[in-house]
Amino acid sequence: MLFERAKEYAMSVIDGTNLSTIEEANGKEITTPEVCTQCKWFLEDLEKQKDDNYPYFFNEDFLIFIEEVLKLLNFATGIDDVTEKTIYEGLSPYQCFFFANIFGWRFKKEPYRYRYRQIDLFISRKAAKTFNAAIIIIILMLTEPDFSKFFSICLDRSLAGEIKDAIKEILAVSPLISKHFGKTPKTLSGKVECLITQSTFQARTSEADRNNAVKASCFIADEFAAMRDKKNYNALKSGQKSIQNPLAVILTTAYASDKSPMVEELDYLKKIYKGLEFDDRLFALVYYASENHLWDDVGLYMANPLRIEKNYNETRTNRKNALSKPSEREEYLTKDMNHFVPRNSGESFIDIEKLRLCKLEEPFDWRQKTVYGGLDLALTRDNCSFSILCYENGKVYAKSWAFIPQDRVEEKNKLERTNYWDFIDKKWCYACGDEIVGYSFIEDFILNIEKTMGVKIHSIGYDVANGRSTVEKLSNNGIKTVQVKQTHMILHSPIKLMQEMIYQKNFQYEENRLYEINFQNCRLKPNMSSGLMYIDKKASNGKIDMAVSTTCAMYLVEQNEILNKKKSFGVQTVNLKK
């Protein structure tokens, strides 16, 4: 059964967690941490569905019906004699898991509704990506309500027809199913029609403003990483508001692109898997080779779960060529290892798991502590942040707040795919002003911090951009302010210090998920001439204001608590010699 095969795959993946060599596998799956987590959640959810209050259930009966459909479909192409099998017989374990999750999970109160609203499959080439898309469309055309409309979008016409061709080929060798479909049109814009439901499928390109009026029951964004932006994806998703059971599917391999929308999507997925965000209506399988396995067979298995040895041998040949021919490395890394290598995206600021090891179990006692402040003020409609740091016994203790425009909370929730209301309830964030952030609220917040927290502000470091008026007001109220220029010459040292303190667990912070998200979003860029690192706001993926304000404060900590004391110690040593 498809359900049993899906469970077997999930257990095999979990059993293979942390495997580092092919020899250790012995029938267990070598895969990515993200797939391991998804499999773990699948097995946990099967237990959770027994709780009456859990909103979803796994519909095994419908999955049996899907099995019967798959038994009537045949492979049109393939290797290892797969064309002699039905699709049901020839599905790989990962495909069983993939299809079972898409079609099996439903709402208890509305069993016709799929649990998952969005499906992401990030996978290397030669892993049946287009084939999977064709199967999804065929099943939906046979099972969704009459007159449903299905679409695929792709960057250009040459790629757009791939899913349509795959559907045509499968139907051509599956007479028991093809008799229920109309004749496949030869043109790209021609529609495939199911005669049972009068549902249609059409392949489209992702040209600007061409998909605004489309109402898709399901659409597939094929080679999503090749698209220039998410405008057409968002247009199609917006058109699904009146659809009772909408489904959006993202299928792609990696690309060497600076502005691919998949970079943002992968960052969002990583936040979900790390517990920074929550989205129980998104299902994803993320296959790629990790950095330390880009040039060995472990990486090959991580990126391609299809487990066809002939495909692996071809990839090994590509790897050999890439090692000796630099011009072929980008193609090998992106397509075979599914390693996203945008040319100017920068590197992560810190491993979020390392940062979480620094989270305090109990709130820090700030009373009578001397603190250094950091202030990041942005454009009036954007996020702002204020952070304080206390240096004590060789450790830094941090607390940070974000400030956002009151009337833009819902808009920001949608754009950033997060929940600011939760952050506001926990007082990690304050909504102030209206469409424009309330600078007077921020100023009063800072001016009252000594009274509300019992601290003594030594000084506040700030980025001069957008902050002259606020800084002047703080200075006029007796607070020492220090401009921290946002350049590699100034920021490299405090950034390096903060990284080292985090890895040594000498950086401590109070629980704040928004703070963690800001650090997760940060990207470092080296200056082209000096090689010194700085946080690049343009390369960073999402809001980083709390990390920036912390860096400004860290600059003051370094200057006053570390460098100055080293100088003082040096002077004392000279005096002693005299």
Mean of pLDDT values over 154-168: 85
* Rounded mean pLDDT, 25-50: 93
Whether the pLDDT of residue 571 is over 50: the answer is no
SS (H, E, C) 53-75: CCCEEECHHHHHHHHHHHHCCEC
Which helix (H) or strand (E) is 483 found in, with range? strand 481-483
**pLDDT on residue 352:** 87
85: Cβ–Cβ under 8 A, 6 or more apart, which residues?
74, 75
Residue 493: its pLDDT value, please? Answer: 94
Most confident of 43-57, 235-249, 298-312, 532-546: 43-57
- Starting at the edge strand found earlier in the chain, the sheet holding 149-154 runs 192-193, 200-205, 149-154, 218-222, 247-252, 118-122, 282-286
Q: Assess whether pLDDT exceeds 90 at residue 31.
A: yes
pLDDT at 561: 93
pLDDT bracket for residue 566 (50, 70, 90)? low
Question: How large is the average pLDDT for residues 450-477?
Answer: 92
pLDDT, mean of residues 214-242: 90
Residue 275 has pLDDT above 50, yes or no: yes
CB-CB contact of 524 with 535 (8 Å)? yes
Residue 301 has pLDDT above 70, yes or no: yes
More confident call, 259 vs 373: 373
The tens digit of pLDDT for each residue in 80-139 reads 677 778 999 999 999 999 999 999 999 999 999 999 999 999 999 989 999 999 999 999
Q: Is the pLDDT of residue 475 over 90?
A: yes
In this predicted structure, the answer to whether residue 578 has a pLDDT above a threshold of 90 is no
Secondary structure, 3-state, 307-373: CCHHHHHHHHHHHHHHHHCHHHHHHHHHHHCCCCCCCCCCEECCCHHHHHCCECCCCCCCCCCEEEE
What does the pLDDT read at residue 207?
65
At 572 the pLDDT is 45
Name the strand (E) or helix (H) holding 499. Answer: helix 488-503
**Residue 414 reports pLDDT greater than 90:** no
Please name every residue paired with 220 in a beta bridge, in sequence order, or none if there are none.
152, 249
Q: State residue 241's pLDDT score.
A: 87
Neighbour count for residue 548 (Cβ, 10 Å): 26
Integer Cα distance of 200 and 181 in angstroms: 10
Q: What does the pLDDT look like over 188-213, one tens digit per residue?
A: 778 999 999 999 999 988 665 666 67
Q: Is the pLDDT of residue 249 over 90?
A: yes
In DSSP terms, 114 is beta-bridged to: 106
How do residues 502-526 score in pLDDT, each as one tens digit?
999 999 999 999 999 999 888 888 8
- pLDDT tier at 228 (50, 70, 90 boundaries)? confident
What is residue 304's predicted lDDT score, i.e. its pLDDT? 95
- pLDDT confidence band for 345 (50 / 70 / 90): low
Q: Please, what is the average pLDDT of the chain?
A: 90
Model confidence at 343: pLDDT above 90: no
Q: What is the mean pLDDT of residues 250-259?
A: 84
pLDDT category at 317 given cuts 50, 70, 90 is very high
pLDDT higher than 80, residue 217: yes
Q: Between 61 and 571, where is the model more confident? A: 61
- The two structure tokens encoding residue 123: 């996978």
Average pLDDT over residues 245-268: 88
Mean pLDDT, rounded, for 424-433 = 96
Strand bridging mode 200-205 / 507-509:
unpaired
Exposure b/e, 505-539, CB count within 10 A at least 16 = b:
ebbbbbebbbbbbbbbbbbbbeeeeeebbbbbbeb
What's the confidence (pLDDT) of residue 576? 37
Helix and strand numbers (H, E) in the chain are 24, 19
pLDDT at 293 over 50: yes
- Does residue 341 register a pLDDT over 50? yes
Q: What is the pLDDT of residue 565?
A: 67
Cα 508 to its chain centre, rounded Å, is 26
Kind plus residue range of the DSSP H or E element containing 462: strand 456-462
| Cα–Cα distance measured from residue 115 to residue 45, given in angstroms and rounded to the nearest whole number | 12
- Span of 229-233, 369-373, 491-495 with lowest mean pLDDT: 229-233
For the cut 60, the answer to whether the pLDDT of residue 374 exceeds it is yes
Record the pTM.
Answer: 0.79
